[in-house]
């Protein structure tokens, strides 16, 4: 009895902090939506190196009159801000064009047309039946001034709009482009180009690798964050908890039996 009490107490003290951490992390994971753990991203440099994640910084992108858009397929960055309102998580598509259109910035991938303000706020997303055709191949504008026309070149043909709601068919020949009303003009197409070297600091910050806090807590809870031997450590801890529970019950029963005899 003395031997069991001796090691039960010492093992309990040694493992108490680990058990407390497992309990707290388990509670957090059980309420991940309420705590917003999946939306909080951690990009601490040493932690990302521990995970083996390295930054993937693009060297080419699209330039606006006073800004830029760069992407790695899974992340779009406009002027140093990560755009979180596009459907990249769903289709993982890279942009096919990005251009200034009036006071907005139009960005297109193969299936969607996004309209942003200069601060990165999403104004509208056009997809499916709201588009005249898909997939989108190129994005451009025709005309100048306050109301230029936005042009999409798709698999079904080329179309232009002044408001994003109504689209007119454009036909191209050697002299330019002509719509159904006879208006003509030569479109200025959005083309990917090399990003200026002065943007390197901004790009490095924006494309630094990150992980959701939920993933990090889950890896800590399971021990996987410590590599191949991490889960083994957690297994040993679980066995320790089982042994402590059994020894605690045994001590209680022995003590209760002695008291009942007295």
Run of H or E residues at 200: helix 200-206
β-bridge mates for residue 158, sequence order = 153, 170
Q: Give how far the C-alpha of residue 44 lies from the chain's centroid of Cα atoms, to the nearest Å.
A: 16
141 and 158 inside one domain: yes
Q: Which residues of the chain are under the pLDDT cut of 70?
A: 6, 84-92, 144-146, 172-185, 262
What pLDDT score was predicted for residue 173?
59
| SS3 call for 244 | helix
What pLDDT score was predicted for residue 177?
54
> Tokens in use for 253?
């029963």
**152: nearest Cα among 111, 93, 203, 205:** 111
Domain end (from 179, 206, 233): 206
**126: nearest Cα among 141, 107, 140, 100:** 107
35 and 70 inside one domain: no
193 and 83 inside one domain: yes
Query: Counting beta carbons within 10 angstroms of the beta carbon of residue 61, is it exposed (0 to 12), middle (13 to 18) or buried (19 or more)?
Result: buried
171 and 68 inside one domain: yes
For the CA atoms of 167, 173, 177, 178, the dihedral, rounded to the nearest 10 degrees, stands at: -70
DSSP state of 31: T
175 and 128 inside one domain: yes
The domain containing residue 241 runs over which residues? 2-52+211-261
131 and 192 inside one domain: yes
Per residue in 104-152, pLDDT (tens digit) is 999 999 999 999 999 989 999 998 888 998 899 999 988 766 678 899 9
138 and 255 inside one domain: no
Q: Are 164 and 116 contacting, i.e. CB atoms less than 8 angstroms apart?
A: no
What pLDDT score was predicted for residue 226?
85
Q: Are 127 and 108 contacting, i.e. CB atoms less than 8 angstroms apart?
A: no
What pLDDT score was predicted for residue 172?
64
Run of H or E residues at 152: strand 149-154
47 and 92 inside one domain: no
- Find all residues with CB under 8 Å of 59, minimum gap 6, and list them: 194, 195
How far is the C-alpha of 250 from the C-alpha of 256, rounded, in Å?
10
181 and 224 inside one domain: no
142 and 172 inside one domain: yes
Q: Are 240 and 95 contacting, i.e. CB atoms less than 8 angstroms apart?
A: no
Omega before 217 within 30 of 0, i.e. cis: no
The phi, psi pair for 235, rounded to 5°, reads -65, -40
127 and 201 inside one domain: yes
67 and 83 inside one domain: yes
What pLDDT score was predicted for residue 87?
47
What pLDDT score was predicted for residue 91?
54
Structural domain count of the chain: 2
Helix axes 213-222, 2-30, angle to 10 degrees: 160
């Amino acid at each position: 009895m003395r031997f069991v009490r001796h090691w039960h107490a010492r093992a309990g003290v040694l493992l108490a902090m680990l058990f407390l951490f497992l309990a707290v992390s388990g509670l957090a994971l059980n309420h991940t939506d309420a705590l917003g753990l999946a939306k909080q991203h951690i990009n601490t440099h040493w932690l990302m190196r521990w995970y083996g994640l390295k930054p993937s910084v693009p060297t080419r992108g699209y330039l606006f009159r006073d800004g830029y858009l760069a992407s790695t397929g899974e992340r779009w960055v406009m002027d140093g801000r990560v755009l979180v309102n596009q459907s990249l998580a769903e289709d993982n598509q890279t942009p096919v064009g990005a251009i200034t259109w009036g006071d907005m910035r139009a960005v297109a991938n193969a299936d969607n047309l996004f309209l942003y303000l200069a601060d990165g706020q999403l104004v509208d997303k056009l997809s499916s039946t709201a588009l005249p055709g898909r997939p989108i191949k190129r994005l451009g504008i025709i005309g100048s001034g306050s109301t230029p026309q936005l042009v999409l070149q798709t698999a079904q043909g080329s179309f232009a709009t002044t408001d994003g709601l109504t689209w007119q068919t454009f036909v191209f020949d050697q002299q330019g482009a002509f719509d159904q009303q006879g208006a003509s003009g030569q479109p200025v197409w959005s083309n990917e180009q090399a990003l200026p070297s002065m943007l390197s600091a901004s790009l490095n910050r924006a494309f630094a690798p990150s992980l959701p806090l939920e993933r990090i807590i889950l890896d800590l809870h399971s021990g996987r964050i410590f590599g191949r031997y991490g889960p083994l450590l957690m297994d040993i801890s679980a066995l320790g908890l089982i042994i402590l529970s059994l020894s605690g019950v045994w001590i209680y029963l022995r003590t209760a039996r002695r008291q009942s005899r007295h």
